[in-house]
Amino acid sequence: MGASLANILSMFSREYILLIGISFLIAVPIAYYSVNSWLSNFVTHISLEWWLFLIPGIIVLVVAVAVVVSKSIGAVYANPIEKLKYE
């Protein structure tokens, strides 16, 4: 309906980034507590660093944005007449 590729990408990406951010903020304290209590049962254990939680969060964010971008580009360049013809 006249939206540019940048508008569509920002609209879809913003929603997913917000959801991933909220889930990351909920999951990190739970994961930290669970892993820390599990590791405390061992005689020798590693200390938990902040980057052990940040790197998987960034990987999930990159994969989600890549999927949204690929699907959005497909939707932008699709011909609406072809889609409506079969409806």
- How far, in Å, CA of 21 to CA of 18, rounded? 5
CB-CB contact of 81 with 21 (8 Å):
no
Provide the token pair at 68.
């949204």
What is each CA distance from 25 to 32, 47, 54, in whole angstroms? Answer: 11, 20, 11
85 vs 13, which has greater pLDDT?
13
87: number of CA atoms within 13 Å, CB side?
5
Provide the token pair at 60.
């999930």
Per-chain mean pLDDT for the chain:
86
Give the start-to-end residue ranges of the domains of the chain. Answer: 5-85
Q: What percent of the chain shows pLDDT beyond 70?
A: 94
pLDDT in tens, 29-67: 999 999 999 999 888 888 888 899 999 999 999 999 899
Q: Is a pLDDT exceeding 90 seen at residue 1?
A: no
Query: How many separate helices (H) and strands (E) can be counted in the chain?
Result: 3, 0
